[in-house]
Structure 1
Amino acid sequence: MTTTTEPEPPVEDDPLQALGKQLLRTATSPGARSAVQALLDERTVLEVPAVQRALVVDTGRGQRADFDGLLGRLYTLGLDEQQRSFLGLVLSMVGIGMTTIAAVQDLDERCLPIILRAVLRLADNDTIAVGTRI
């Protein structure tokens, strides 16, 4: 029997969820949508004010994610090693950065399934389940 670990349901009136919905709405590629969803699922990286300042840009039509703005600041955002590895993997989904897949070794049991689901989302594959085998 296999069980899956899904992200917790969003809380009503959560400003991070509202930001995430806007970033998903304005994402222009499957990679950007997968990356934004991974950041929303993981939460701790996107909650960092420095990450939001580097990632989110205001346009005439609302906010959108500018992943290029994160790359040059990766080591100045105040993230711990796991968060940097997670963010590096997320950036690789949009085709920027030089993070190798070996960075998954830095992820814990909560973050690894988020990245795995994001990779499946990027591959447009909804037939493979990610979870814990018991």
Structure 2
Amino acid sequence: MTTGETMMPDAGFRELCEQLVRTATSPLDRAAVQALVEERTILEVAAVRHALIVDSEHGPTAHFEGLSGWQHTLGFDEEQRSFLGLVLSMVGIGLTTVASVQDLDERRLPIILRAILRLAGNDTIAVGTRM
């Protein structure tokens, strides 16, 4: 666990995640939120939720600009920083290159690949293990 990380109860976390996906204001935001939801460990950090989530008239909403300034101060390991950098780049924040996918493990890489497919509007290409 990273510094400042607090585990939310599963039911509360699922409800928050559903709300964030529902209130995403654009396909870019939705793909980024879904990636964070799938990855989970980054969104479970209280400081991330504090920086990312704002109250809107529709309830809690992801505001990625609030998170951008904090990404290097959250105590994440290299893989988490790379993942977060890629997610932020989906919404046009930062200068993370696609080459940073080489820092991702077998769990996080498919999450990013599915997010890229969502950005492209493609729901026909499957991401998984090749036989």
Do these two structures clear the TM 0.5 threshold for a shared fold by scoring above it? yes
Q: Equivalent residue of 1:14, what SS?
A: helix
Give the letter for the 2:37 counterpart: L
Measured after TM superposition, the shift of residue 43 of structure 1 is 0.5
The count of residues paired between Structure 1 and Structure 2 equals 123
Structure 2 counterpart of 1:120, from 92, 103, 117: 117
Pick one of 28, 35, 39 that aligns with 1:38: 35
Runs of 4+ in 1 over 2 A off after TM superposition: none
State TM-score, norm by structure 2: 0.89
With a CA cutoff of 8 Å and minimum separation of 6, indicate the structure with the bigger relative contact order: 1
> What is the distance in 1 between the residues matched to 2:61 and 2:54?
6
Kindly indicate whether residue 91 of structure 2 is the aligned counterpart of residue 94 of structure 1: yes
Asked whether 1:64 is paired with 2:56, we answer no
Once residues 32 and 22 of structure 1 are traced to their aligned partners in structure 2, the CA distance between those partners, rounded to angstroms, is: 13
> Within 2, Cα distance between the matches of 1:35 and 1:95?
11
What do you get for the CA RMSD once the two structures are aligned? Answer: 1.4
Q: Which consecutive unaligned segments of at least 5 residues does structure 2 have?
A: 1-8
Residue among 6, 9, 14 paired with 1:17: 14
> Which of 104, 108, 129 is the aligned partner of 2:105?
108
Identity, % of aligned pairs? 68
Letter in 1 for 2:108: C
Q: Within 1, Cα distance between the matches of 2:92 and 2:72?
A: 19
Distance 1:126 1:106, change over 3 A: same
TM-score (norm 1): 0.87
Kept after mapping to 1: 8 A contact 2:23/2:58: no
